[in-house]
Structure formats: C-alpha cells, structure tokens
Amino acid sequence: MKGDRVPNTDHITRYCSGGRVKRDGSISGEAFRLRQLAGYTEEYLSVNWLEHLGKNSREEEIAQIQGVLAAKFTGGIRPSARIALLNVGETLDHVRNNSEDSRNLQVLHEPASGPPPDPSHSGIHGLRLEDALIGDLIAMTVKEVYPAKGS
Amino acid sequence: MRFNSVLTGEYETTAVRDRNSYAAPYTEEIIDAEILTVARLRDSFSATPQTVISVTTSTSDISDRVRNLIERQQETLDSLQKWHTDTWSLPTGLKRYVLNRLTSADSSDRTFQRRESSVAELIAAVRTESILPFSKQLAERLEELVEISQEEFPEQAPLSGRSLSDFTEFLCSVPDISEPDVILTYDGNIRAEWTKSSNKHFAVEFLGDSQTRFVVFSPDPRKPHITNRVSGLSTLTSLLENVAPYSVLNWVANSSE
C-alpha cells in the first residue's frame, strides 16, 4: 500500500543508466542522487521492492524488474545499463551512521498504476539535491549488480 | 574543429544543447534531427529544451546553402514558439543561433576558442596531445560516454564541453595522477572517482566554469580505523588545496602508497 515502509530485511533495486556505470560494471554514487528535472526536483529516488513481487527466486525477481524497465523505456535499454541491488536495512544504517547529519532515509512503497503498471515501485525518501556524499555512501552498500536489459 | 563537410567550404560546427556541446558535421540531416528533438520535447512536455545550434565559420563568409539551413531552423523554432502552451514554451532567454567569425589573432580569441571547443575536439586532444599515460583509455571512455549521452537523450544531457575541459585541466595539473573511473552526471558533467577502498575515496564532479563538487572518504591521520568524510564545492584551482588535509594524493597519485 502506498506509503508503507519497506522492511529493513527486504531488498530494493535501482535502475542505473549507462552514464552512471563504471567501466568495471560497478555503480557510481551519482546513480543515487536526485535529479533536477524541468522546473522541479525529484521527490525521492525511484527503486523497486523485490519481495513485493512475490517471486520464488532472485532470478525471477530480477527478470520481472527487467520486464518493467523494458516497458518503461520504450526506446530500448542500453546494454551498459545496470540494476543495483541493495538491502534496505544495511543501506539506511550505513547512511545514518556515516553521514554528517546522521541522515534518516526511509524507503516507502510508491506503487505506480502506469502505464506501464509498476506495483513494486518504491522510493528512497529523505535525500536532497546536493547530497553527493550520501549518494556515494549508498553506492558502497550495493550488494549485487545485474544487467538492466533482460536476455 | 573544422569539417570539410558535405557543404561548400570549411566550417566549424557545433550542436549545443543545455550549454553542452558535441561536434557533428553540420548537414541537413543534423539540422532535421535537431528540429525533431525540439518537437519531441515539446510533445512530451518532459523537459525544457534549450536547443541551440551554433555555427562558427573559419572565414567571414558562409555559403548560401549554410545560411539557408540556418534560416530554415530559425523558421521552425519560430513556429514552435507560436505553438506556445501552458506546459511548454521555449525559454525566453534561448540563444538560438550563434555565428562567430574566428580570428586567429590574439590570445583572448584563442582562449575563447578553447572554452568553446567541441567535445570531439577535446577528446581528440586527450588522445593525441595529452601526456597522460592512460590517455588512450581515457579517450575511449569519453567517447563511450558521448555515445551513451546521445542514446539516452533527453533523460541524459549531452557531455558538457566545459566540464570536460576542466577535467582534463585537472588531470594535467596533478603529477603522476592515476586513471580515475569516469562517469556522467545527469546534467552531462564529468565525474571522476578514485576509489581505493571504502575509506579511500575521492570523487570530483566538474561543474564547468572552473567549479567543482567533491567528496572525500579518508582515514583519520591519528585514528586510521575512523573514516573522515567531507564534501563541498571548490574552484578548480583550489581543489587540491582544499582536499590536501585528507591526503587524497596518497591514493590518487601513482607514486604514492
């Protein structure tokens, strides 16, 4: 349900376009920064809540997310784009313990009805536009990286 | 950069979006692509376009054909402006066309040319003129980022020539600097990262116009098990001075550690 907190034990993925992916395939902290869009700043960092998908394996979860991304990016997904996987509790703790203002981020469920529908869509709340350091802290908690483009 | 293009004569051409530039031969196809981009942005309402096409000629004269192409683009933008809606309009300060005649006289002109160099020209300079030992790999990476920015436009702004210019200036200012990871920000700026471990991390976003945003994770000199973390803004010229207390050169320079 919209606004529900994603449990600390659960996992989220963040789509990282090719420009934010390093040559070795790891993810830059820039992928975890809010964007200034036309006349406004993003309210939160878009992610997907994997356990909400109700799949039986990580592979199935990632395949589902790849499908959602393919539907969203109708122009196609570049091969260098990646999906970064994070554990909610580890990421929030790392940021809280290491940011200068002990930042309390929150991951909240933000289901999107679409099109395309994205029921596991969630958001990392509590970031500010200038948070380069926090972006780098989040990047250091990335557990796994997958291609954003499904096979 | 001068192109002996399909057009008559020799021209320096740059397509510019959102103050960022990349070089492209100035052909009818390119102009048509620019027109389509503006129209697409208008239709999607997803961005405020600041599409500028500048043509800098190497002589005082430009051919009638080039002039016609420019005028055609001007007419198109004028009609787009007439299609003003509440949700989309051309920015009032939009600078549509720049026609500069290059003179090769004094240093101020050369400075101007340097600042306005195209991304392709800067990358070529990295490859062929740079003293950096990793210049070839860096040039390849930059070309890859240009390609990404073109494919992911308009979500991704084109690579900024100003940012790239500052980045290369910084690299050349640090003796024995090691190769950084280079990525693009959404705004099209270069961000260079030197990460040796979770407590030895130095990242710099080159904002253009000699401004930078940096992040440092560094072991405390007295209590190395504790990590100091700092971020901030700095001019390019004072950047090393500002991060010196965190000993970033210990892992940014090849000869250290």
Q: What is the ipTM of this complex?
A: 0.92
Provide mean pLDDT across the span A107-136.
94
Higher pLDDT, B36 or B57: B36
Interface residue B18 vs chain A (CB under 8 A):
no
Provide mean pLDDT across the span B165-193.
93
For residue B183, the chain A residues in CB contact (below 8 A) are 19-22, 28, 30
Confirm whether A131 is domain-assigned. Answer: yes
For residue B47, the chain A residues in CB contact (below 8 A) are 37-38
Contact A80 B191 (CB under 8 A): no
Higher pLDDT, B11 or A78: A78
The mean of the pLDDT values for chain B is: 68
Interface residue B47 vs chain A (CB under 8 A):
yes
Confirm whether A24 is domain-assigned. Answer: yes
Closest in B149, B156, B198 to A140, CB measured:
B198
Task: Please say if the pLDDT value at position B248 is more than 50.
Answer: yes
Domain count, chain A: 1
pLDDT of B30 reads 55
B252 contacts: CB under 8 Å, gap ≥ 6: B174, B177, B178, B180, B194, B202
Higher pLDDT, B234 or B70: B234
Confirm whether A50 is domain-assigned. Answer: yes
Number of H helices, E strands in chain A: 3, 8
Task: Please say if the pLDDT value at position A139 is more than 90.
Answer: yes
Confirm whether A132 is domain-assigned. Answer: yes
Residue A143 CA, chain-centre distance (Å), reads 12
Highest mean pLDDT among A75-79, B29-33, B71-75: A75-79
Q: What is the DSSP letter of A112?
A: B
Contact B47 A38 (CB under 8 A): yes
Chain A nearest-CA residue for B89: A38
Closest in B46, B184, B213 to A132, CB measured:
B213
Task: Please say if the pLDDT value at position B66 is more than 80.
Answer: no
Contact A78 B152 (CB under 8 A): yes
Mutate to test the interface with B, among A136, A138, A141, A143 (most CBs of B within 10 A): A136
Confirm whether A38 is domain-assigned. Answer: yes
- Tell me the backbone φ, ψ of residue B210, rounded to 5 degrees: 65, 30
Percent of chain B topping pLDDT 90: 38
Tell me how long chain B is.
257
pLDDT of B125 reads 87
Q: Are A78 and B148 in contact (CB under 8 A)?
A: yes
Task: Please say if the pLDDT value at position B6 is more than 70.
Answer: no
Confirm whether A6 is domain-assigned. Answer: no
Q: Are A111 and A120 in contact (CB under 8 A)?
A: yes
Task: Please say if the pLDDT value at position B84 is more than 70.
Answer: no
- B97 CA: distance to closest CA in chain A (Å): 22
Q: List the Cα angle B228/B229/B232 in 5-degree steps.
A: 140
pLDDT of B79 reads 52
Residue B201, beta-bridge partner list: B195, B217
Closest in A28, A30, A78 to B151, CB measured:
A78
Task: Please say if the pLDDT value at position A86 is more than 90.
Answer: yes
Q: Name which of A47-61, B23-37, B197-211 the model is least confident about.
A: B23-37
For residue A137, the chain B residues in CB contact (below 8 A) are 229
- B231 CA: distance to closest CA in chain A (Å): 6
Provide mean pLDDT across the span B186-202.
95
Question: Distance between CA B72 and CA B68 in Å, rounded?
Answer: 6
Interface residue A80 vs chain B (CB under 8 A):
yes
Task: Please say if the pLDDT value at position B131 is more than 60.
Answer: yes
pLDDT of A104 reads 97
Percent of chain A topping pLDDT 90: 80
For residue B163, the chain A residues in CB contact (below 8 A) are none
Provide mean pLDDT across the span B22-28.
44
Question: Distance between CA B216 and CA B200 in Å, rounded?
Answer: 8
Interface residue A37 vs chain B (CB under 8 A):
yes
pLDDT of B157 reads 87
pLDDT of A13 reads 98
Confirm whether A3 is domain-assigned. Answer: no
Q: Are B23 and B118 in contact (CB under 8 A)?
A: yes
User: Which range of residues forms the domain containing residue A137?
Assistant: 11-147
- Rounded to a whole number of angstroms, the distance between the first and last alpha carbons of chain B is 41
Interface residue A129 vs chain B (CB under 8 A):
no
Task: Please say if the pLDDT value at position A99 is more than 60.
Answer: yes
Q: Name which of B104-113, B119-128, B143-152 the model is least confident about.
A: B104-113
Task: Quickly state the pLDDT bin for B106 (edges 50, 70, 90).
Answer: very low
Contact A132 B231 (CB under 8 A): yes
Task: Retrieve residue B134's tokens.
Answer: 């990793």
For residue A130, the chain B residues in CB contact (below 8 A) are 213
Confirm whether A1 is domain-assigned. Answer: no
Closest in A20, A80, A136 to B201, CB measured:
A136
pTM exceeding the 0.80 threshold for the entire prediction: no
Task: Quickly state the pLDDT bin for B16 (edges 50, 70, 90).
Answer: very low
